[in-house]
Amino acid sequence: MAQYSLSEVKTRRDIRQWLDFPAKLYKGDKYYVRPLDKEVEHVFDRKQNKLFRHGDAARFLLKNEQGKIVGRIAVFYDEKTSATYEKEENGQRTGGCGFFDCIDDQEAANILFDTAKKWLEERGFEAMDGPVNFGDRDYFWGCLVDGFTDPIYNMPYNYPYYSKLFENYGFKDYFKQLTYRREMTVGGFDPILHEKAKRVYGNPDYTFEIIDKRQIDRYADDFLTIYNKAWGVIPGTTKLSRQHAVNLLNQLKPVLDPRLMHFAYYKGEPVAFFLMMIDLNQIYKGLNGKDHFFNKLRIFWRAKVSRICDRAISLVFGVVPEHRSKGLEAGLICSLEAQAVKRRFKYKDLQLNWIGDFNPPMLKIAESAGAKLYKTHITYRYLFDRNKPFTRAKLQGVRNKDKSNPNNT
């Protein structure tokens, strides 16, 4: 039996080792893309991450008897998010663990999971989700279990054995995050989608437009309105502040392509969006997580000059509740198709990522757009009380009175 030692990340050297470990673990893997260190560190910066106002986080490193790092993990909680989980059926105070990387050794993984569990138990928590992020759901969230190929920006990539490490410990499938893919060619859409779009286009109360980078603050307000109405009510999803919305769009501005950012309005009021972005992983690959001066030049050249970026990925899709089933989903997708037929539209690959299996309406939209299931991530949950009944995430937008149905997520 191997001898392992665990230590909490405290010093700058610890942080550097914690950041560097995955790149060493995946050395030689042709698909692995290291995220920028600054994007990871933002999560653990108490001045930048507002969740520290009502939460906390810790990081740990695991070493073998030769002093070589063999694993890492982060553990965290956010009281506001946990409160939404407590209101669910069979709910409990739930924290999270994430940024998990480990050699293929169950004993090593168990030490990391036990550490996270103990840390949360000491703070009164009763369960943990993982691998998740101490922040927005669309970053560093989920364990890849199918589709071990080119990872896209903000979607985790890991070795196939990771799911075994989680499941052998006792984690269970809380929900799946599905990625759909289609080639950006004209056609392939469900004819019904075009019919729905035609009807909504014929209603003068509804208008569609792509973003104007010169009016970024206005679109930040529109984004905020739609997001908080469409997504802010879902358990585990935090409502955005205006500053957060402005910061998000301003961060994207250097690489933002207006042809990928679509908004819908009803009598001038924002009611829906379909926001996409270039796949930054095509830009970040080979930069080793660093954004120093020369890498910034490389990023600019790859994004603005070269044609290396030929993949578009979904950022977020949302329709406010009172305007659902009006055909806006079809209108937004066909609005994107209208841009795709124009000259100089360089994107050949469209990936609709992070579609929860608890969201059948969105799954149907992806399929009607001619996209095929491409990858699967799982968000796991581990209940500390092993005798407590486990409940998966609730379905959104579907009525199902049969609570005994195991597929009633």
Q: Is residue 80 part of a domain?
A: yes
Same domain (yes/no): 150, 256 = no
* Count of residues in the chain: 409
| Span 27-84, pLDDT tens digits | 999 999 999 999 999 999 999 999 999 999 999 999 999 999 999 999 999 998 888 8
**Radius of gyration in angstroms for the set of CA atoms belonging to the chain, rounded to a whole number:** 22
239-249 per-residue burial string, b: 16 or more CB within 10 A, e: under 16? ebeeebbbebb
Same domain (yes/no): 208, 170 = no
Same domain (yes/no): 111, 25 = yes
Residues with Cβ within 8 Å of 293's Cβ and at least 6 positions away in sequence, in order, are: none
Number of domains the chain is built from:
2
Same domain (yes/no): 156, 204 = no
| Span 249-268, pLDDT tens digits | 887 887 889 999 999 999 99
* pTM, full prediction: 0.89
The Cα–Cα gap between 1 and 175 comes to: 34
Q: Is residue 363 part of a domain?
A: no
Q: Which two tokens stand for residue 170?
A: 């006792």
| Closest residue by Cα to residue 18 from 33, 29, 7, 32 | 7
| Span 185-201, pLDDT tens digits | 666 667 888 899 999 99
Residue ranges for the chain with pLDDT beneath 70: 1, 89, 185-189, 233-237, 397-409
> What's at 284, amino acid-wise?
Y
Domain containing residue 113: 4-176+379-383
- The separation between CA 98 and the C-alpha centre of its own chain, rounded to angstroms, equals 13
* 53 burial type by CB count under 10 A (0-12 exposed, 13-18 middle, 19+ buried): exposed
DSSP structure string for 132-194: --SS-TTSS--EEEE--S-PPTTS----TTHHHHHHHHT-EEEEEEEEEEEE--S--S-HHHH
88-109 per-residue burial string, b: 16 or more CB within 10 A, e: under 16? eeebbbbbbbbbbbbbebeebb
Same domain (yes/no): 194, 336 = yes
The DSSP 8-state label assigned to residue 383 in this structure reads E
Same domain (yes/no): 170, 90 = yes
